Copies of this chain bind each other. A is one copy, B any other.
Amino acid sequence: MDSPRKATRIQREKREIILAAALDAFSEDGLRGATLEKIAEKAGMSKPHVVYYFGSKDAIYTELLQSLLDVWVQPLRDLSEDADPLAAILTYMRRKLRMSQDMPRESKMFATEILHGAPRMRPQLSGELKALVDEKAALIAGWSAEGKIARVDPHHLIFSIWAMTQHYADFDIQVEAVLGEERKPGLYDEADAFLTEFFVRALRP
């Protein structure tokens, strides 16, 4: 456990189980609200056992956050030249929307962290993330300048995609409460249709 030789199968498995349980707990109650005991219970093991594998609650939280970050920005990484720039942006938006649908817990964890000042992500936000966004913003700005899409501020366009797609995961309770139970099943199809049409209208030259 200490000297990082080879992680045994059992070690990887247990760590996975704990991380899954922790994601559950953290997304529900936040770092402060989630307790080691609850995580241990969800993971089906004792509290000291959880500490044995990660050292502290904070360490679990931080590791989860870091490992999720890569997954989270992958769709943006994949945004690139395409037959049709508008289609590329729509694909990006759709992938983000799908991530909201498939990974609401991850979305909520990030949202909570950033909402509270992102104390353990600041460097990455203004470092890697800023660099990535700047790069893709330049790409979009190019399309914009060439008249392939409408003239828009690319940074704010990216923010709008983040905002609108993550809204459905982060504030799902509100969305479902306002729409009513009966519209819940087709919710993400509705959102997809709305957002697609919306961005097409807003972005086509």
Contact = CB atoms under 8 A, between A and B. Distances in A.
B177 A167 contact: no
Closest 3 CB pairs of A and B: A163-B167, A125-B177, A156-B194
Given A32-B29, A152-B194, A167-B163, A178 B125 contact: yes
Nearest to A133: B178
A23 to B, nearest CB: 15
Interface string A167-184: 110110111011110000
A132 B134 CA distance: 40
Contacts of A197: 152
Copies of this protein chain in the complex? 2
A114 B156 contact: no
A170 B115 contact: yes
A115 B197 CA distance: 27
Contact of A129 (B177, B190, B199, B201): B177
Contacts of A77: none
A84 interface: no
Interface string A41-79: 000000000000000000000000000000000000000
